[in-house]
Amino acid sequence: MINKHLFAILIAILPLVITSYMFFLKDRPVWPDESTLLVISRTLAAKGYMATNIYNGMWADAHIRAYFFPPVYFHVLAHWTNLFGSTIESIRLLSILLAVICLIVFYFFCILLFQNKYIAFLATVLISSELNFGRAARVARMDILIFFFNLSAYYIMLLAERKNSKILYLSSGILCSLATLTHPFGFLAPAIICSYLLLTKKSFKEKLYLIALIIIPVLLGNLLWLFSIRDTIDIFLNQYSLQFLRKRLLEPYPITLFKQFDSFRKQFLIYGAIILAFVIKILFFRKKYDIFILLGTIFSISAVMWGKELWYTLYFQPFIILSACAIVSLAWHQRNKIIIAGVSFIVIALFWINFIQLQLVYKEVGGNRYDYHLYTKRIADLIPQQASIFLSAIPDPYLDLRKNSMLSIYDMPNDEIPPDNYINLLNSVDYIILNIYSNSLLGGYLARNSDQYFYVGEPNQYSATVVKLIPRNERK
């Protein structure tokens, strides 16, 4: 079956491959999350538990246990880095390979839904060329792994429905369990699948049985994990509560994008038109799987607005593409010139907005002006061999600086830490690498305790300020 579709798959993944090559360490720039996740995974590989001292013990007992996210991605990354090393290239390559696998799964998922390889090809090209999908694929975070588990769970569930296979339903439940053990956004998959089964199965007994095949692996997997961390459950609860407290103050990222960027305003308006057209289609030409797509759209929009982070727009992408392709499928079968003209406009608009956004990114970071390793080398050249450093910079130079085992390097926390802890962290270092103010206390601390400033980089390139602090016993 793969050979029959191999050429279409290879062409469909080309946009991802090309943009990954063009923007590999440039968009997104190397992120502090990547350093944190890598250190946790290496601790897991070495000691058998998740922890990090990247904050010098100053944030939420992370040096004892780090439960920012569930464990699956850390196990995957630990095994990957055991085999292929822990450079930024290596850990980002894992995400890109997972993204390629996601595109293959998505292609066959669309064939299952629409029974048309041309529509499946179109859908896969659209998601392959989408900016936020490409960004998630180029960052060493767990988002693409969750995307893979969620998408695979959807595919296996619909395959189970077609084949009437209880084993496949259970397999979908296991994939849902793995998704939830990777990130809270993994709960999208069981929520969408169970809602779909609840609405489409006629027999109450059948609904209950099939939903149980999905839910039991999810409950069992999460209960086993929570049982395994029972001795440190208080740390888990504290770290999760701190993350949710921080999110309360954030504006949903799609709203930020809509306010700040004209290209995203156009993109969201196109998305709104697709959703409206899809709802109209359902009213007049409803197919069974339209319910699944509609539920996925509703749940994923709600999750993106609740999650508020820039990464999470990824989970909405497959459903907006599936909505568009459901309309394409209708046009294909109806042969109606008006519908075909409308569909053509939507598809061209999607490709156009993807091209515009990628063009804007290229203008910002294209060419050779942005070199992560040159940037970090210039920083390293200014730091004495046994210095202690606090990083408050993006791109985050941690992953290169850590090659010098004599340095003590601490990174900015994901969330706000108590003021006394933050000052203690700053008091423990000799240098600060700075291009953003990660905490409101940092500016005042530098005004009181800086000795020398060294600027690294050039305008419109990766740049940072290396601040040498006065001796620790003289600080105010």
Residue range 243-278, pLDDT digits in tens: 777 666 677 777 887 788 787 888 888 888 889 989
Please list the alpha-helical segments (H only) found in 366-462: 372-380, 398-401, 419-427, 441-449
* DSSP of 35-78: HHHHHHHHHHHHHSS----TTTT-STTTTT---SS-SHHHHHHH
Q: Considering Cα of 110, then 115, then 119, then 120, what sign does the dihedral take?
A: positive
- Residue 14 bridge partners (DSSP): none
Q: What is the mean pLDDT of the chain?
A: 90
Least confident of 238-252, 279-293, 387-401, 408-422: 238-252
CB proximity list for 427: less than 8 A, separation 6 or greater: 472, 475
Amino acid 235: pLDDT: 93
CB proximity list for 60: less than 8 A, separation 6 or greater: 235, 238, 239, 242, 415, 417
> pLDDT band for position 344 (50/70/90)?
confident
pLDDT tens digit sequence for 167-192: 999 999 999 999 999 999 999 999 99
Amino acid 2: pLDDT: 57
Extents of the domains making up the chain: 2-260, 372-474
Amino acid 291: pLDDT: 93
pLDDT tens digit sequence for 104-143: 999 999 999 999 899 999 999 999 999 889 999 999 999 9
Amino acid 267: pLDDT: 83
Amino acid 15: pLDDT: 94
Mean pLDDT of 422-426: 90
> pLDDT band for position 99 (50/70/90)?
very high
**Angle 142-143-147 from CA coordinates, rounded to 5°:** 120
Cis ω before 397 (30° cut-off from 0): no
User: Quick one: DSSP state of residue 476?
Assistant: -
